Structure 1
Amino acid sequence: MLKYKCVIFDCDGVLVDSEPIGNQVLVDMANALGANINLDYAYKHFKGEKMQSCVDIIETLISQPIPKDFIASYRQKSFEAFKTNIKPVDGVVELIQSLKIPYGVASNGPENKIRLNLEVTGLLPYFKNKIFSCYAIQKWKPSPAVFIWAAETLGFKPEDCLVIEDSLTGVIAAKNGGFDVIGYTAHDYNNELKSEATYIFDSMTDIKENLVSF
């Protein structure tokens, strides 16, 4: 790798294939309250967003306050679903193993969710002491704060780092911090990343094969 000295991964949809699972749980819970939405709606409106923003959207759909235990209930139900169904993103293990430079993970999700999903998918050993959650600093993407924190902790400046993201919110967060960013487009259902990301790829194999040429 010629240009970059560090790679920072998003977690959901980049390291672990959690988006269909977590969003389906959210859709089911929202529909139980009368939201009448589907998975496509969730991908369009919830993907990459912090949980409270998703709750705010659901409240507008049902025209009433969300139950106070909604987020806690979502965490419990989604965690159970993750334990049963989650898998690593295709090709990401080979990509991680090929890296000759430092790397970490920076996510909008809470640290216990990040750790759970990395553990269930067998990825946690690769990211010990390299997990950065927006909940720790109370600043969420599209703020670049979590990426800046990750880069500084790993010992690098933004211009030294390459971020890998699958959501528009995450791509914008990276750009806001002065990072170059790969848009991972395998599930870019709204075709949003091409105009914003520094590079786009639809497979981890392609990312792995092209990293050395950047």
Structure 2
Amino acid sequence: MSKYKCIIFDCDGVLVDSEPIGNQVLVDMANELGANIDLEYAYKHFKGGKMQSCVDKISVLINQPIPEDFTTRYRQYSFEAFKTKIQPIQGVIDLIQSLKIPYCVASSGPENKIRLNLELTGLLPYFEHKIFSCYTIQKWKPSPDVFNWAAETLGFNPHECLVIEDSLTGVRAAKNGGFDVIGYTAHDYNNELKNEATFALSSMEAIKKMLMDS
């Protein structure tokens, strides 16, 4: 039996393969303004971050204010892209179905985005009434607040929970809150997670095995 009593999943890049889609939309929109960046830049500087922080970085790159409707259009364009391209992370449904302990999702994205992506990938039924968004509490990673909120709501202390994250920002948020955290490294292009996460694993199958063996 696992020593953990609760699993807290990040959403983008952990439950759903949305990072390439959302970041490509952001790159395209930024480049229309003259940013001249690529997807690798986005993974390094935008992944796991608050949307406003991404906007601020783009503003610095182009040396002028971002149009007021930028975020609204990004949500529109990315949602459209998600509807035709998004898939669940390989092996994550099998992992979820194997869990014998409570679990939830805690994400930096707005709840409507989380729900859309979970619904499109067939994951929403697993997470109804177990969705925690940074937007709800207006506190973003690397602050641990969203993880603390999730753990407290489900009735657990941080040391009883295991967070699964794919971004350095998310890993640091978990550690800042006293949580053990798996750095899911399948798309850790910068090789950043292994030095900061409690565990570093590259597949959902490996995570499932770890939980069964621990």
Question: For residue 66 of structure 1, what is the aligned residue in structure 2?
Answer: 66
Q: TM-score, normalised by structure 2?
A: 0.99
| CA deviation after TM superposition for structure 1 residue 209, in Å | 1.1
1:165 and 2:165 matched: yes
2:191 equivalent in structure 1: 191
| Residues 102-135 of structure 1: per-residue CA shift (max 9 Å, x gap) | 0000000000000000000000000000000000
Q: Aligned to 1:173, what secondary structure does the other structure show?
A: helix
Distance (whole Å) between structure 2 residues aligned to residue 10 and residue 124 of structure 1: 14
Provide the residue aligned with 2:181 in structure 1: 181
Deviation at 1:175, TM superposition (A): 0.3
Question: Which ranges of structure 2 fall in alignment gaps of 5 or more residues?
Answer: none
Task: Give the Cα separation in 2 of the matches to 1:100 and 1:211.
Answer: 10
Supply the RMSD in Å over aligned alpha carbons: 0.5
Q: For residue 128 of structure 1, what is the amino acid of its counterpart?
A: E
**2:22 aligned partner:** 22
Q: In percent, how many aligned pairs have the same letter?
A: 79
Instruction: Give the corresponding residue for 2:44.
Output: 44
| TM-score in terms of structure 1 length | 0.99
1:212 equivalent in structure 2: 212
SS of alignment partner, residue 195 of structure 2: coil
- Secondary structure at the residue paired with 1:16? coil
* 1:78-117 per-position Cα deviation (integer Å, ceiling 9, x unaligned): 0000011000000000000000000000000000000000
Residues in 2 aligned to 1:211 and 1:197: alpha-carbon distance in whole angstroms: 16
Alignment of 1:8-157 (within 5 A): 8-157=8-157
> Which moved further from structure 2: 16-25 or 201-210?
201-210
Distance 1:201 1:102 in 2: 21
User: C-alpha distance in 2, partners of 1:87/1:155?
Assistant: 31
Structure 1 gaps of 5+ residues are: none
**SS of the residue 2:104 aligns to:** strand
Q: 1:5 maps to which residue?
A: 5
User: 1:9-50 CA deviation, whole Å, 9 max, x = no partner?
Assistant: 000000000000000000000000000000000000000001
The amino acid of 1:184's aligned partner reads Y
- What's the CA shift string for 1:158-184, capped at 9, x where partnerless? 000000000000000000000000000
Whole-angstrom CA distance in 2 between matches of 1:101 and 1:49: 29
Work out the number of aligned pairs and report it. Answer: 214
Deviations 1:115-156 (A, max 9, x none): 000000000000000000000000000000000000000110
Structure 1 residue 201 and structure 2 residue 194: aligned?
no
